[in-house]
Amino acid sequence: MPYRARVHAGLTVVLALSLAGLACQSITSEPTGPRPTEARLPNPEGLATDDYSSQLTPAPEGPTATEAGEVVSGPTGSGADYTQPAALGETISIGNWDVRILSYSYGDQAVEQLKGMTDMIDSLPDGRQYVLVELEAISRFNDNENHAVPYDVRLVADNRHGYFSRGFPMVSDPFEGEVRSGESVTGWLLFDAPAQSSEFQLVFSDYDNDFNQIEGYLALTPNAALPPADESQFPDENDIGRDPAAPAKIGETVVTGGFAVTLTEIQRGQEAIDTIVSANSFAPDPSEGQEYALARIRVEAIGREPELQHFSTILFSVQPTSGEPIGLPFLVVPGESPDGALLPGAVLEAWLPLALPVGDDGAVLYYDPTFGFGDQSPARYFALQP
């Protein structure tokens, strides 16, 4: 399958999985009425309390939907970006939703809370911890239809990385469902993050009528605000690796599409197999005529906007000396996942799993941050030989 067709097929799969996820959300045939906004007040430690205090910050005044289906503006004032997340318990308007954090916990405290929800709790790899968040979203749609709460909610840690929620272990009262205008959804989301992180904020995303993404940032911890990226330290875009006949060498940095990407190491043969098996002893065998390899990459987000930048393995493929491109295999790799979201200034170091044609020493790694659409000029090539 040609590369463009392959990435279109990949997009179709991603969209199908997203729709399937929405279909799995619980739907209330007779939605309950809205809950009072003072239902639970987070205390400084993050745990919910039954204190119906007046310290809660009311939702900020701002434009509302004036016609059915018309979407309001993004978060007003505090919460507009990662440098000024809304304070714990404060309500901000994001698209057609009023959102606030009710409570949170992380580390050992999160594990103890999980024990009250389920008796099936995975042990995380060394260096990781659970983060448990309870949030509320109130619909601001000016119609009489049910609307599903957005599923694009991410945790941002103090390493400037964004993390998607986990489906397991199962939490009680997960954050999902459909409600009408004025009604609320309250529930839990579970994440895992680096164990050394202790400051967190949540990113809640919605879309306007033109499908422009609107992000709102809500602090979990008191010092969750992050400094703006120092753009003066960002490298300039370059032409390294533009020509497949002269791919970027190991250690050379390709700067294109909002990221600076360096391939720092290649593992092949038994060394690669040992690393893969260390993460998953049940890893499948490679397809006939192929062998597994691992590429260690260093990725720096250098976007100029104060928002999350998405990085994915679907942006890569192996280009053999002859024949069709080979997509990256679905393998569990040790360490940080290469699929995620980064704030400007964040650095990600991760393993890319590769499937290489046996005996093809001229195969190169193809990278296209445009995802196969539009301008192909950002596409780059990396050598897979020392």
| Of the candidate ranges 38-52, 89-103, 222-236, 270-284, the one whose mean pLDDT is the lowest | 38-52
Q: How far apart are CA 14 and CA 239, in angstroms?
A: 30
User: Mean pLDDT over residues 312-331, rounded?
Assistant: 93
* CATH architecture type of domain 34-219: Sandwich (2.60)
DSSP strand pairing (128-139 vs 97-106): antiparallel
DSSP strand pairing (347-357 vs 290-301): antiparallel
Kind and range of the H or E run holding 253: strand 253-256
List, for residues 278-311, the tens digit of each pLDDT value: 988 899 999 999 999 999 999 999 999 999 999 9
Q: What pLDDT was estimated at residue 122?
A: 87
Where does 27-182 show beta strands of DSSP type E?
41-42, 48-49, 92-94, 97-106, 128-139, 147-148, 153-157, 161-164, 178-179
Q: What is the mean pLDDT of the chain?
A: 82
Q: What whole-number percentage of the chain has pLDDT above 70?
A: 78
Q: How far apart are CA 273 and CA 279, in angstroms?
A: 10
List, for residues 102-152, the tens digit of each pLDDT value: 999 999 999 999 999 999 998 898 899 999 999 999 999 989 999 999 988
**Distances in whole angstroms, Cα of residue 137 to Cα of each of 33, 46, 59, 272, 345:** 13, 18, 12, 45, 30
Position with higher pLDDT, 381 vs 53: 381
Domain ranges of the chain: 34-219, 232-383
Q: What pLDDT was estimated at residue 290?
A: 94
b/e map 43-68, b = 16+ CB within 10 Å: eeebeeeeeeeeebeebbeeeebeee
Q: For tokens 């967190």, name the residue.
A: 200
Q: What pLDDT was estimated at residue 106?
A: 97
Does residue 313 surpass a pLDDT of 80?
yes
**Distances in whole angstroms, Cα of residue 279 to Cα of each of 36, 96, 143, 292, 331:** 46, 41, 49, 14, 9
List, for residues 168-203, the tens digit of each pLDDT value: 999 999 999 999 999 999 999 999 999 999 999 999
Q: How far apart are CA 109 and CA 112, in angstroms?
A: 5
Is the distance from CB of 97 to CB of 138 less than 8 angstroms? yes
Q: What pLDDT was estimated at residue 75?
A: 61
pTM above 0.85, yes or no: no
List, for residues 68-92, the tens digit of each pLDDT value: 344 444 564 489 999 999 999 999 9
List, for residues 341-356, the tens digit of each pLDDT value: 999 999 999 999 999 9
Map 191-236 to HEC letters: EEEECCCCCEEEEEEEECCCCCEEEEEEECCCCCCCCCCCHHHCCC
272: amino acid identity, one letter: A
106: amino acid identity, one letter: Y
Q: How far apart are CA 202 and CA 154, in angstroms?
A: 6
Q: What pLDDT was estimated at residue 196?
A: 96
Q: What pLDDT was estimated at residue 372?
A: 58
Q: Max Cα separation, the chain?
A: 70
Is the distance from CB of 106 to CB of 130 less than 8 angstroms? yes
Tell me the pLDDT band of 46, cut-offs 50, 70 and 90: very low
Q: How far apart are CA 129 and CA 195, in angstroms?
A: 5
Tell me the pLDDT band of 374, cut-offs 50, 70 and 90: low
Structure tokens at 9: 């097929």
Instruction: State whether CATH 3.30.1660.40 applies to domain 232-383.
Output: no
